[in-house]
Structure 1
Amino acid sequence: MSRRTAIGWAAVGAGVSAAVLLGLAPMRNATETAEGKNPSADRPTATASSARDGEVRLERAEQQRTGLSVASVTTTSTPAITHGFARGLDGGALAAIDAEIVTARAAAGASRAEAARLVQLFSQDQSASAKSVEAARAQSAADSARVGLAERRIGLEYGPGLARLGTGARHALIADIAAGRAALVRIDVPGASLDTRSRMRIDGGVLAVLGPAAAADPRLQSAGLLAILRGPIAASATNGRILDVKVERGSAEAGVAVPRDAVLRWRGGLWVYRQDGPESFERVELIDARPIGGAWFVHSGLTAGNRVVTGGAETLLAIDRSGGSAAESDGD
């Protein structure tokens, strides 16, 4: 075979190979499309991206497509909040004192009646001596003293607020404690003084403050308040359990009101996406945020006039978590 003929056959072979490859490419794309794959899915789109954790860029056209909306936070103020704790008290001890009062009153009533009967018999010169009359009077006085001591035990061991409850109210309270409808708690706020006018609340319960506690806390050396806790959480406020208490102070605290629709719950915290530019957003954590009406009160991290995402924040979080494009975040 001559050299010219060999070159000719080589050219023909190269042409045939190129035709085969070009024919296979459409078939491969068709196969991927039929299987639900996107041949260009591996190439990130430029319309949405996350350069680093907490920052997202989204073009305006993509913002409109995803229904992104923003709103401004506004200046507001709310009573300052101090955190304290409530400790469940033993309701069984209160029930024992109440039973002691009932027993002492019954004994005192019986001894008074016996003393009165003997006095009458002695005045009629019947079968009653002066000695028996004096003994009956002494017994009546002793039983009356036991009643007074039993009644004072409530104030001495729990506080004057509980001691002021009437007999019927105390019996009803003990019955509610036994049924899990109420609990007796002591409230302390380290480093702060409390009074009965302080507004306090426990999540999942309603507090009714009775008055000062009988003694200072042995570890904190702080004066506390005695209160009755009612509500769903009362059944679990057993003796010694500690619950978080929020106490409103008289002073006002300045901050901003964040729309409730803007707040995301993630990683055990509350977050919003703040708009830093026409196409840039930054994730901001809300520290010590608390609900006020239809918004969240925040005293740091955001300032009045900041714009936060109220619609489509979940989309930004998905892009943020994927560290890539919106198309990549759909499968996260």
Structure 2
Amino acid sequence: MEAERERPLKAPLRVSIDGDGQPVVTLTAATRKLSGVVVIKPKATQHQEQIRAYGTVLDLDKLVALDNSYVTAVAQLQSVQARIVASKAALERAQTLSKDNITTLAQLQTAEATFAADQAGVATAEAQVRTLKATALQEWGTVIGKALVDGSPLVSRLIERQTFLLQITLPPGASASPPPSATVQFGASATPHQVEFLSPATQTDPKIQGLSFYYSADAASNLLPGMNVLAFLPSGAPIDAIEVPRSAVVWWTGRAWVYLRTGADTFTRLEIHTDAPTPEGGFIVSIKNLPQAVPELVAQGAQMLLSEEFRTQIQVGEDNK
């Protein structure tokens, strides 16, 4: 009898197994109040699904060099075009004077040679301009390449770093129409910045091998060439979801879980996705991943319920020795 009195008391088992083989924790209202367990009905919301992609702020040295080459080539073309106007006029005068025997044959031949040389110069300059124009379109696409050819303010802003150019690449196998705007983030705790779609990229990121797009970011974003960023691209129509507060989430085996109320005093653990965090540290969870549209969940004390599950497993293991 003495030994029986000194034997450690076991806490009552509060965990059972439901028909699906899932553990169910039972806590009466009195126990919940004593343990500080708080049950809430989370806020319903609309959530825009997003594709997580990867971005790089591009170094525009090649664009700057190409722009300089194109501007120089256009200036050279204009110069030889001005020269050929003068040499053509000189040739026509020499031909007229030659008919009247006023000029010599040597002077006529000199005017013809000058005009022929200017013609060759124009052809060469035009070929150089065409080559650089094709290079701009091939390397930078129809939007940025055409902006370079037309002398658009877009290229000036990129060169002067008033605007930064990002290449955003989708994960391999993912496909989506590029949205007009997206958000990028440098580091998990950094402030997200909005970027605007420019055009499809002319080549993919070799490290990722997915569809790529060009986006522009304002200089106020504090992005710098060479930075790697996370990008979030809106996809599809908004979906119905709930906001799960940070205090309701428990972590186990590297995954996030919440406890849902399944009865007056019963609770079941459910894994949630963490791909849509909130600024407060919680998560947006689609209702399609929930057993009911807006379930009640444990907002305070979820860790206590998780501990109860493990304590029960330990007791059962000891009893089976």
* TM bin (shorter chain): 0.5 to 0.7
Partner of 1:157: 139
Q: Which moved more, 1:206-215 or 1:218-227?
A: 218-227
TM-score w.r.t. the length of structure 1 is 0.61
| Alpha-carbon spacing, 1:320–1:220, altered in 2? closer, same or farther (3 Å) | closer
| Partner Cα distance (2:250, 2:155) in 1 | 43
Which of 205, 229, 235 is residue 248 of structure 1 equivalent to?
A: 235
Contact 1:69–1:311, Cα closer than 8 Å, also in 2: yes
Identity of aligned pairs, percent? 18
* 2:161 aligned counterpart, secondary structure: helix
Q: Deviations over 1:151-193 (max 9, x none)?
A: 332222222122243443213213439xxx7343154463635
1:307 shift after superposition: 0.9
Partner of 2:30: 61
| Alpha-carbon spacing, 1:222–1:43, altered in 2? closer, same or farther (3 Å) | closer
Which of 148, 170, 173 is residue 130 of structure 2 equivalent to?
A: 148
Partner of 1:209: 197
Contact 2:242–2:294, Cα closer than 8 Å, also in 1: no
Contact 1:51–1:323, Cα closer than 8 Å, also in 2: no
Partner of 2:245: 260
Q: Which runs of 5+ in 2 are unaligned?
A: 1-5, 95-102, 186-191, 314-321
| Partner Cα distance (2:278, 2:214) in 1 | 27
Q: Which moved more, 1:98-107 or 1:259-268?
A: 259-268
* 1:100 aligned counterpart, secondary structure: helix
| Alpha-carbon spacing, 1:321–1:182, altered in 2? closer, same or farther (3 Å) | farther
| Count of residue pairs brought into register by the alignment | 275
Partner of 1:107: 76
Q: How do residues 41-190 of structure 1 correspond to structure 2 at under 5 angstroms?
A: 56-73=25-42, 78-82=47-51, 86=55, 91-119=60-88, 129-165=111-147, 166-176=151-161, 182-188=164-170, 190=173
Query: Which letter maps to 2:261?
Result: Q
Contact 2:45–2:243, Cα closer than 8 Å, also in 1: no
Root-mean-square deviation (CA, aligned residues, Å) is 4.6
| Partner Cα distance (1:63, 1:113) in 2 | 91
| Alpha-carbon spacing, 1:43–1:171, altered in 2? closer, same or farther (3 Å) | farther
* 1:134 aligned counterpart, secondary structure: helix
Contact 2:137–2:145, Cα closer than 8 Å, also in 1: yes
| Alpha-carbon spacing, 1:311–1:219, altered in 2? closer, same or farther (3 Å) | closer
| Alpha-carbon spacing, 1:151–1:320, altered in 2? closer, same or farther (3 Å) | farther
Contact 2:273–2:285, Cα closer than 8 Å, also in 1: no
TM-score w.r.t. the length of structure 2 is 0.62
Contact 1:183–1:237, Cα closer than 8 Å, also in 2: no
* 2:289 aligned counterpart, secondary structure: coil
| Partner Cα distance (1:137, 1:265) in 2 | 79
Contact 2:136–2:146, Cα closer than 8 Å, also in 1: no
Q: Which runs of 5+ in 1 are unaligned?
A: 1-39, 325-332
| Alpha-carbon spacing, 1:90–1:322, altered in 2? closer, same or farther (3 Å) | farther
| Alpha-carbon spacing, 1:183–1:197, altered in 2? closer, same or farther (3 Å) | closer
| Alpha-carbon spacing, 1:129–1:186, altered in 2? closer, same or farther (3 Å) | farther
Q: Deviations over 1:199-236 (max 9, x none)?
A: 64444443321223446899999865333356456645
| Alpha-carbon spacing, 1:111–1:318, altered in 2? closer, same or farther (3 Å) | farther
| Alpha-carbon spacing, 1:302–1:234, altered in 2? closer, same or farther (3 Å) | farther
Contact 1:84–1:245, Cα closer than 8 Å, also in 2: yes
| Alpha-carbon spacing, 1:67–1:186, altered in 2? closer, same or farther (3 Å) | closer
Q: Deviations over 1:245-265 (max 9, x none)?
A: 44412x555x54134355426
1:141 shift after superposition: 3.7
| Partner Cα distance (1:317, 1:113) in 2 | 84
| Alpha-carbon spacing, 1:201–1:302, altered in 2? closer, same or farther (3 Å) | farther
| Partner Cα distance (2:71, 2:81) in 1 | 15
Partner of 2:270: 284
